[in-house]
Amino acid sequence: MAFSDIQEQLRAIREEAEAQLQKVGDKPALDALKLKLLGKKGDLTALLRSMGQLLPEERPQAGQMINAVREELTGKLEEFDAKLRKLEQERKLEREAIDVTETRKRTPMGCIHPISLVQEELMRVFTSMGFDVVEGPEVELDLYNFELLNVPKNHPARDAQDTFYIEDSILLRSQTSPVQARTMLTKKPPIRIICPGRVYRADEVDATHSPVFHQMEGLVIDEDVTMADLKGTLDAFAKALYGEDVTTRFRPSFFPFTEPSAEVDLTCVNCHGKGCRVCKGTGWIEVLGAGMVNPKVLEMCGIDSKRYRGFAFGLGMERIAMLRYGITDMRLLYENDVRFLSQFRDD
């Protein structure tokens, strides 16, 4: 065998390899080709073995040539192998594709009752202003619910809140104010509290009344508290709850617990004060009762009314919830139909 034969055969092997590679479609075919070209019994190995027939001085060059081809072909085969694997991966991914719009049975999170959502929001706003949240019993002494709050027995103001009684001196609290009385009796000023909770009045159930409902009252007692502080506090509350464009309007009113007293209107949250069905065209909605704590109440609760002043306010959480969520029938709040409850989420 002559040197030129080696050259010729190498050329043939390369051509053959190129031609075969075009025909390869899968991994087994590629492996077969690899074996045929580069394997122990492959073409190039055979060629290498036949080098013994060359002149010794020709051998190194021939060896280099063969190895160069081997490297070239190895590279090509690997390149092709990578291409094949990628193709196969693509086919696999295609096979694995799913319909992402199919639906499955879901287990949604539960929902918080709207009254609790309102209470949470109120607590968030007021605790950020330094108010502690305090609670008290729902079955309460007449003493705390009425007498210490300047509503003696047989006072006509008791008519405004028809009260459920357990005994002569025990009742279902008709307001959360007894918590204020209890706090004043046990804690020294300064006092800054809110009292959310359940209250009871003998109203028949209808779209806007319920014998069980929820109030939140607030109380501040300190040395230099003014009615402007009351307004400032309620303004801040209104803005935090309903937005910067909401303000409060105070109207004179009467509560035995406070003097002076005020009904507090908020800019209608529905029409922003333009006048609508919700606010009956006035641009205002009545939301709170408030006032400066009656000095008689302070004295009855053991606080020096010469040194300390205070303000108090109260609101109905049902009303806030109904305004906030557009609920027109209060009964929905206590019926607990899951189709109603599942609509609520916190903001």
Partner 1 sequence: MKVPYGWMRQYTEIPVTAGELADRMVMHGTGVEGVEDQREAVQNVVVGKILTVRKHENSDHMVVCAVDVGEAEPLQIVTGAPNVHEGDLVPVAKVGAVLPGGVSIKKSKLRGVDSYGMCCSGPELGVPEALYPSVGDKGLLVFAEPHEPGEDVRPILGIDDAVLDFEILANRPDCLSVWGVAREAAATLGTSFKKPDIEVKTVPGKIADYVTIDVRDSTLCPRYCARVVKNVKIGPSPMWMRKALHAAGVRPINNIVDITNYVMLETGHPMHAFDLAKVRDAHIIVRRANEGETIVTLDGKERQLTPSMLMIADQQNATGIAGVMGGEESEITEGTATVLFEIAAFDRTSIRLTTRALGLRTEASGRYERGVCAATCREAADRACQLVNLLGAGEVIEDVYDCYPNPKPVPVIEASVERICKLIGIDVPGEEMARILTSLDMQASLSGDTLTVTPPAYREDMEQEADVAEEVLRIYGYDHIGSTLLRGETAPGVRSERIRIADKVAQILTAKGFSEIRTFSFISPRLIDKLSLAPDDARRDALRLINPLGEDTSVMRSTLAPSMLSTLALNQSRNNDAALLYEIGPAFQNHGRKAGELPHERPMLCVGAYGEAADFYFLRDAILEMLARFGVAAEVVPGGEPYHHPGRAATLTVKGEAIGTVGELHPDVMAAFELSRRPLIAEVDLERLAALRTRMEHVRELPRFPAVTRDLALVMDEKTTVGSVLAVLRRAGRPLLDEAEMFDIYRGAQLLPGKKSVAFSLSFRHPDRTLSDEEVKPVIDRMLSECEKQCGAKLRL
Site for partner 1 in 60-89 (CB under 8 A): none
Q: Check binding of 198 to partner 1 (CB under 8 A).
A: yes
Asked if residue 261 binds partner 1 (CB under 8 A), the reply is: yes
Which of 38-46, 91-99, 161-169, 266-274 is the region at the interface with partner 1 (rule: CB under 8 A)? Answer: 161-169
Q: Assess contact for 324 and 270: CB atoms under 8 A.
A: no
Q: Are strands 170-172 and 139-141 parallel, antiparallel or unpaired?
A: antiparallel
63 contacts: CB under 8 Å, gap ≥ 6:
48, 51
Map the footprint of partner 1 across residues 87-106, applying CB under 8 A. 105
The residue (of 126 and 242) whose beta carbon lies closer to partner 1 is 126
Q: Report in angstroms how near the CB of residue 310 gets to partner 1 at its nearest.
A: 10
d(CA 48, CA 62): 9
146 part of the interface to partner 1, by CB under 8 A: no
Told to check if 57 binds partner 1 by CB under 8 A, we report no
Closest separation between CB of residue 268 and partner 1, Å?
16
Q: Residue 14 interacts with partner 1 (CB under 8 A)?
A: no
Site residues for partner 1, window 212-241 (CB under 8 A)? 212, 220, 222, 224-229, 231-233, 235-236
Q: Which positions from 164 through 193 interact with partner 1, judged by CB under 8 A?
A: 164-167, 169-170, 172, 190, 192-193
Q: Where are the alpha helices (DSSP H) in the chain?
A: 3-23, 27-38, 43-49, 59-96, 114-128, 142-145, 177-186, 227-242, 295-300, 317-325, 332-335, 338-341
Strand residues in 146-283 grouped as ranges (E): 170-172, 191-200, 212-222, 248-255, 258-267
Nearer to partner 1, 38 or 111 (CB): 111
- The pair phi, psi for residue 11, each rounded to 5°, is -60, -40
**CB-based contact 242:324 (threshold 8 Å):** no
Beta-sheet strand order (sheet of 212-222): 132-133, 191-200, 212-222, 309-316, 284-293, 258-267, 248-255
The whole-angstrom separation of Cα 135 and Cα 215 is: 11
The verdict on 32 binding partner 1 (CB under 8 A) reads: no
- Output 194 or 322, the one with its CB closest to partner 1: 194
The residue within the footprint of partner 1, chosen from 55, 109, 326, 328 (CB under 8 A), is: 109
Q: Is 337 exposed, middle or buried (0-12, 13-18, 19+ CB in 10 A)?
A: exposed
Work out the angle at residue 308's Cα, subtended by the Cα atoms of residues 290 and 121, and round it to the nearest 5 degrees.
Answer: 40
Q: Minimum distance between the CB of residue 232 and partner 1, rounded to whole angstroms?
A: 4
Asked if 160 interacts with partner 1 (CB under 8 A), we say: yes
**Two tokens, residue 88:** 């196969």
Should residue 140 be labelled a site residue for partner 1 when binding is judged by CB under 8 A? Answer: yes
30 belongs to the binding site for partner 1 (CB under 8 A)? no
| List 128, 245, 281, 304, residue binding partner 1 (CB under 8 A) | 128
Q: Which is nearer to partner 1, 56 or 156 (CB)?
A: 156
Does residue 40 interact with partner 1 by CB under 8 A? no
Quick note: the x/- pattern for partner 1 over 294-333, rule CB under 8 A, is xxx------------x-----------------------x
Decide if residue 254 touches partner 1 (CB under 8 A): yes
Distance from C-alpha of 199 to C-alpha of 212, rounded to nearest angstrom: 6
Binding-site member from 146, 237, 242, 250 for partner 1 (CB under 8 A) = 250
CB half-sphere exposure, 275, CA atoms < 13 A: 2
Size of the site for partner 1 (CB under 8 A): 87
Q: Which of 20, 74, 253, 270 binds partner 1 (CB under 8 A)?
A: 253
**With respect to partner 1, which residue has the nearer C-beta, 39 or 316?**
316
